[in-house]
Chain A
Amino acid sequence: MDAVKELSYAVDTFYFLISGVLVMWMAAGFAMLEAGLVRAKNTAEILIKNISLFAIACIMYMLMGYSIMYGSSDSSIIPDFGFLIGAENAKDAVLAGGDDAPYYSKMSDFFFQVVFVATCMSIVSGAVAERMKLWSFLAFAVVMTGFIYPVQGYWKWGGGFLDQLGFQDFAGSGVVHMCGAAAAFAAVLVLGARKGKYAKDGSINAIPGANMPLATLGTFILWMGWFGFNGGSELKLSDVGEANAVALVFVNTNMAAAGGVIAAMITARLLFGKTDLTMALNGALAGLVAITAEPLNPDPLLATFIGAIGGVLVVFSIIGLDKLKLDDPVGAISVHGVVGMWGLIAVVLSNPDATIVAQLTGLVTIFAWTFIASFIVWTILKAVIGIRVTEEEEYNGVDVSECGMEAYPEFTNK
């Protein structure tokens, strides 16, 4: 019997680690997607932002984030402000069995959680692309990954008041995606639009991305990584019921993305008369974000539908934000924020434990906390060190002004 327990502990730990690796790879997806959707003169800077925010997220979450999010606090609102990861599970505790016995390694839990924080932070980088100062962004990343994200994470996944309220968010449509989008939304408000995006007469100028193949590759990488994101969030694999559940989560995640692509393509074709590739890519991500709050209970047909609604929403949201002069070069606020909200609400379609009141409470709480906290941090950064490059630096491209280099030195078009 002990041998079976040890084996299942090993299997579940292994599954957790491999899922974490898939989610880690989403960082590559975000990097490629964003590199494809910015202009060539801002490519190197968006890439260094992506790799450095990942590193900052890992270090801050190890130092304090994980402890805040999963520490033992007496309050359901104020988390326990501790540090570092804590001790690994003892073998005796694992073999003791019972409901409280750990069934995967604590370090594997930390590893799986830390890549989620990085995902959340990646969402912000695309929205502020092509005009933000690198080090101001990184300063925000420190606060976001070490404090803002873990606090709202504690409210749900750490067992805080949102969890006690019955708020359902399986893998983080709200906790991860809408949270990142709320921070991005605050950033865009404080930062302003790219120069040349809006003409003096109020008309909208298109600023086409430099590399559609990279944007497409990035979307495929994110789609693949999402199997770890949602599939790993089942947290267990090692019995028939759990294995079936994991398989269903994989299928639903895939179907929602497919539904999102088709719906976004058709919507774009009907609205513009042309089938915009970037909208199809955003549609795939919208489908994935939409299903993330509940990939386990819907049947595959409903999952496709939930993703498809996300795909329609994302096109209208991108156009709407553009008209409101909220300049988001990659559509991150629409994909992760607007569709993240839809994902949270869509939980009630299939999960009998979910209530619309609890879902809306979670939605408003996470959004308000992240938006207000982020807005304050961005405003302070703006006042103290500034968050925006000069107009001339923006015109020349942040690759040269921030990194002193060009991504494509032979071919850069200024």
Chain B
Amino acid sequence: MKLISAIIKPFKLDDVREALSEIGVQGITATEVKGFGRQKGHTELYRGAEYVVDFLPKVKVEIAVSADLTERVIETITNAAQTGKIGDGKIFVFDLEQTVRIRTGETGSDAL
């Protein structure tokens, strides 16, 4: 099992959710986050004085999937979230030790 954590542009969330549903992903957790990568922040202006916004709003999408689906999910997210402009985000993949469905007590890939 793998945990895929993708940082994407907030307005791409709907596209990513739809695309993932189409390939059979059944659960997604989304969190509003702030951060920066090579895009860095940008400057804004208030009453003539400039100020730097270091941390930009992003959405973090987390999906737990069976190992065989991992590549397809990564590909799907990449396609759906891509604009080609700087600041599109990143995808991190972790090994997932255990999963438990709280309602039934099922574990492992049965609980995905």
Contacts and interface: CB of A to CB of B under 8 A. Distances in A.
Does B bind A? yes
Contacts of B51: 205-206, 208
Contacts, number: 37
Nearest to A37: B47
B47 A318 contact: yes
A338 to B, nearest CB: 15
A205 B45 contact: no
In terms of DSSP, what is the predominant structure of the interface of chain B?
A: strand
Interface string A207-225: 1110000000000000000
A213 to B, nearest CB: 16
A204 B46 CA distance: 11
B24 to A, nearest CB: 36
A272 B47 CA distance: 9
Interface string B44-72: 11111111000000000000000000000
B46 A318 contact: no
Contacts of B44: 206, 208
Bin chain A's interface residue count.
10 to 19
Contacts of A272: 45, 48
B46 A322 contact: no
A205 B49 contact: yes
A278 B45 contact: no
A276 interface: yes
B49 A318 contact: no
B48 A271 contact: yes
A278 B49 contact: no
A276 B49 CA distance: 11
Nearest to B49: A206
A286 to B, nearest CB: 14
B32 to A, nearest CB: 12
Nearest to A208: B46
A209 B47 CA distance: 10
B46 to A, nearest CB: 4
Contacts of A322: 47-49
B69 to A, nearest CB: 37
Nearest to A315: B48
A51 interface: no
Contacts of B47: 206, 276, 278-279, 318-319, 322, 331
A327 to B, nearest CB: 11
A382 interface: no
B38 to A, nearest CB: 25
Nearest to B47: A278
Interface string A263-289: 000001001111010110000000000
Nearest to A275: B45
Nearest to A329: B47
A140 B5 CA distance: 57
Interface in A368-403: none
A17 B49 CA distance: 43
Given A206-B45, A276-B45, 7 more contacts: A206-B50, A206-B51, A207-B46, A276-B47, A278-B47, A318-B47, A319-B47
Interface of B: 44-51
Interface of A: 204-209, 268, 271-274, 276, 278-279, 315, 318-319, 322, 331
The 7 closest A-B pairs by CB, nearest first: A206-B49, A206-B46, A206-B51, A208-B46, A204-B49, A319-B48, A274-B45
7 contacts: A205-B51, A207-B46, A208-B44, A208-B51, A268-B48, A279-B47, A319-B47
